[in-house]
Amino acid sequence: MAINATTLAGPLGKNDVYALLTAATGAAQGSFCLIGNELCAFVGNPIGNQVLLRRGLDGSAVSAHATGEPVQIGLSTDLGSPAPGNDTGFGVQSVGSPATVSYSASGAINPVPGTALLVGAGPFAMTLAAPLQITTGTLTITSTTGAAHTITVAGGLGGGGSAMDVITLPAATASVVLQASNGKWLPISLGGAAAA
């Protein structure tokens, strides 16, 4: 079976078992879906575009997902193995598999390593607080819609203050990669974005 790509037609809370999809092609008993890094199995067949899910399979982290988040539907052989759920320890924050979080409106991006997907119509005005001193790892911020989103980084990139505190994504799909280090976000790749 080939992978069928769709999106969430409504938000999916951490404790929800029913999801509303934009299209339910391939969503049948015995098939699976990936929503971010979370692997789910379909329980029964869809009713319209509403599906019942068994969530957090193979150790994947159960998390909330925003409207518009991409969903991949297929058999287990099509989707492969998901990344394991987050694993944090004391001292330096170690992340086994950084979480993927979707944002569908302006607001604050969670200041931890992982992936932030900006989905839905935009552009959004996002904010990003400085990471904790003990936090290490990368944060990838990806625009999936091609809107010129802005991200205001507390303290500026690399601690550069107001001279480097606003990242403007191009009006195209793009990704920015930031490294958390010593309480600051350091730019690894701006992927065509401008920082001022």
Per-residue pLDDT reduced to its tens digit, 7-63: 898 899 988 999 999 999 999 988 999 898 888 999 988 888 999 999 988 888 899
Mean pLDDT for 113-124 is 85
pLDDT band at 1 (very low <50, low <70, confident <90, very high): low
Beta-sheet pairing, 99-103 with 137-143: unpaired
Reference 112, options 125, 93, 96, 127; nearest CA is 93
- According to the model, what pLDDT value does residue 191 have? 78
Angle (CA) 14 16 21, round 5°:
105
- Which residue in this structure is represented by tokens 């078992």? 17
Q: Is the pLDDT of residue 146 over 50?
A: yes
Final residue in a domain of this structure, among 45, 79, 113:
79
A 10 A CB-CB count for 161 gives 10
Reference 148, options 120, 169, 165; nearest CA is 169
**Is 86 part of any domain?**
no
Angle (CA) 96 101 160, round 5°:
85
A 10 A CB-CB count for 134 gives 12
**Is 90 part of any domain?**
no
- Using CA atoms, how far apart are residues 168 and 22, in angstroms rounded to an integer? 29
Final residue in a domain of this structure, among 50, 79, 108:
79
Q: What is the overall mean pLDDT for the chain?
A: 83
Q: What is the DSSP letter of 58?
A: G
Six token digits for residue 56: 């957090």
Q: Are residues 120 and 181 in the same domain?
A: yes
**Is 89 part of any domain?**
no
CB contact at 8 A, 124 and 86: no
**Is 12 part of any domain?**
yes
Amino acid at 195: A
Cis geometry, peptide bond prior to residue 123 (ω within 30 degrees of 0): yes
Q: Are residues 116 and 189 in the same domain?
A: yes
**Is 120 part of any domain?**
yes
**Is 87 part of any domain?**
no
Q: Are residues 114 and 73 in the same domain?
A: no
DSSP H helices, 19-124, are: 76-79
**Is 105 part of any domain?**
yes
Give me the domain span that covers residue 137. Answer: 99-195
- Using CA atoms, how far apart are residues 38 and 65, in angstroms rounded to an integer? 10
**Lowest mean pLDDT across 84-93, 138-147, 163-172:** 84-93
Q: Are residues 60 and 117 in the same domain?
A: no
pTM, full prediction? 0.54
Q: How many domains does the chain have?
A: 2
Q: Are residues 8 and 74 in the same domain?
A: yes
- According to the model, what pLDDT value does residue 80 have? 58
Final residue in a domain of this structure, among 28, 49, 79:
79
Helix, strand and coil in the chain, % to nearest 5: 5, 40, 50
- According to the model, what pLDDT value does residue 178 have? 93
**Is 88 part of any domain?**
no
Distance of CA 164 to the CA centre of its chain: 24
